[in-house]
Amino acid sequence: MPRAVANGGSGAKDPPVDRDRRITLAEASQRSGLSVEALRLRIRRNKLASRKDNMGRVTVRVGDLDDLVPPRNSDLGETSEPDDVPEDTTAEELAQAEAELLEARLRIARLEAEKEGETRRADDAEARVTTAEGRADSAEAALREATTPLVLRVVRALRRRE
C-alpha cells in the first residue's frame, strides 16, 4: 500500500512496498530504527518471524517488520506513523527481560534441587552396591568352604590344632 512522502505536501507517492520481500537484519535495522540486537531479541521471543538465506544471513519479511514497527521516513528520520509506536518500548523490553531473568533463576533453582536429589539417590545406590559386594564376598567364601570335600576340611582343622 503506497505511503505519502513528507516533501512539503506535494502529494508524491512512494512505490508500493513488496511486503513479501525479505531483507537482512542490517536493512531491517535501518528501516525500523531498531538495533540489530533488538531485532534479534524480537526474533528469539517469536515476535518477528525470520529465516536464513542461502548465504546464512538472517532475513525478515518487510511486511512482518512493518507490522511490528512502522517504517522510518528517510527524509525526516521519523516513523511514518509515530502514534503507533509506544513511547515506553524500552521499559516494556526491560520488564520483559526482568521477567525472563526471574524465570531463568527459578528454573536454575529447580534444576539445582533436582540435582541435589539425584546426588542423594546416587550416594544411596552406591552404599547399597558396597553392601551387596560385601555380602557377595561372604557368600563366595561360604560357597568355597561348602564345596571343599569333608576330608580336606578335617585335615585343615587338624593342622590348625598342631
DSSP letters for 101-152: HHHHHHHHHHHHHHHHHHHHHHHHHHHHHHHHHHHHHHHHHHHHHHHS-HHH
How does DSSP classify residue 70? P
Grid coordinates standing for 92? 516494556
Size of the chain in residues? 162
Cα–Cα nearest to 23, from 31, 15, 14: 31
Over the chain (162 residues), the average pLDDT of each successive run of 10 is 42 65 91 88 90 92 85 50 55 84 93 94 94 94 85 88 83
How does DSSP classify residue 15? P
Distance in angstroms (rounded) separating the CA atoms of residues 153 and 145: 8
Distance in angstroms (rounded) separating the CA atoms of residues 126 and 13: 78
Tell me which amino acid residue 112 is.
E
pLDDT of residue 29: 87
Distance in angstroms (rounded) separating the CA atoms of residues 28 and 69: 10
Q: At what angle do helices 25-32 and 36-44 cross, to 10 degrees?
A: 110
Which CATH fold would you assign to the domain 22-85? Multidrug-efflux Transporter Regulator; Chain: A; Domain 2 (1.10.1660)
pLDDT of residue 74: 47
Please name every residue paired with 23 in a beta bridge, in sequence order, or none if there are none. 60
pLDDT of residue 3: 43
pLDDT of residue 132: 95
Q: Domains of the chain: which residue ranges? A: 22-85, 102-155
Provide the b/e sequence for 131-142 (b: ≥16 CB within 10 Å): eeeeeeeeeeee
